[in-house]
Amino acid sequence: MKYIYDKITPETPPLKTAVVHPTDENTLRGAFEAAAAKLMTPILVGPEDKIKKAAADAKIDITGFEIVNTEHSHAAAEKAVELVKEGKAEAIMKGKLDTAEFLGPIVAKEGNLRTDKRMSHVFIMQDPGYHKPLYITDAAVNEAPDLMMKKDIIQNAVDLFWKIEGREPKVAILAASEHVEPRQQATLDAAALTVMSMRGQIQGAKVEGPFGMDNAISKKSANLKGIFSEVAGDPDILVFPDLESGNIYFKSRVLMSQAPLGGVVVGARVPIILNSRSAEPEERKASAAIALVASRSTTPRPKK
């Protein structure tokens, strides 16, 4: 993920990040390394004694990190949202707690972190099998998105792409076929989303689908099937039909083809860093870098 780090200069101020319930080695090491790389200034939110014990056990030096003491993990998640509201934190990172418990206060109406869009997850991957960075959505949060959720998922990814890359992305909506098939809901959704984009209901991107994976990423395969499209063979963003297909895909790329990646939840007022328990330290750091670049961006999507 070197290309993400290249977008950060020594003058970029690190992201003030509320780290929720960091009572395990993985989270603390992630926060420590991101801080050492000047990607974030962690604010450790949770039971102070537990945090200090975990740091001592793992021999991680958290001297100099602010700790905001809370009674338990649930209170830590609520406190993190408060810190954002008060302007003291610019991002939130998940520690050792359940994803549902972590996201609860973030998606709650009173938390004021919500926008008018559904939150969704975006991975950025540097894939040795592809010629440029590839945005993957949604492979981590939304289970069986319907049409309007997919619309938000796409717009969220497009907005993140603008912030990081500063240009209009090409978006390929995937299905099992490049034809519209009445019994394959993913192809019907893809058709609807393509026209939504034509009508301005999705903005700032070239959106097209359905594509099979073959004609999405290979112009030769697309042409063989009679598809002549600017998106075919060259998408910046791959939109998956559901959680299973996206999740299985990104894990196969990471584990079978050593593609590095990082990811964030977007669609909230600040980036949410949500790494899985098995995420490698490099993934945690890349995720912090993505959150930082997106937050400091001066090139958001142009509004119509």
Cα dist. 170→96, 157, 197, 233, 234 in Å?
36, 11, 12, 10, 7
Smallest distance from the beta carbon of 254 to a second copy, in angstroms?
8
Instruction: Say which residue the tokens 């559901």 belong to.
Output: 242
263 touches a second copy by CB under 8 A: no
Q: Which of 143, 147, 195, 230 binds a second copy (CB under 8 A)?
A: 143
Binding characters for a second copy, 208-247, by CB under 8 A (x = yes): ----xxxx-xx--x--xx--------------xxxxxxxx
Q: Which of 65, 123, 135, 249 binds a second copy (CB under 8 A)?
A: 249
251 touches a second copy by CB under 8 A: yes
DSSP symbols for 210-222? EE-HHHHH-HHHH
Pick 72 or 251: Cβ nearer a second copy: 251
Cα dist. 51→32, 73, 106, 168 in Å?
13, 11, 22, 43
**What is the dihedral sign for C-alpha 19, 22, 26, 28?**
positive
96 touches a second copy by CB under 8 A: no
Q: Which of 39, 93, 157, 175 binds a second copy (CB under 8 A)?
A: 175
Which backbone phi and psi does 249 adopt, to 5 degrees?
A: -60, -55
252 touches a second copy by CB under 8 A: yes
Q: Which residues bind a second copy (CB under 8 A)?
A: 127, 129-130, 143-144, 174-177, 183-184, 186, 212-215, 217-218, 221, 224-225, 240-249, 251-257, 277-278
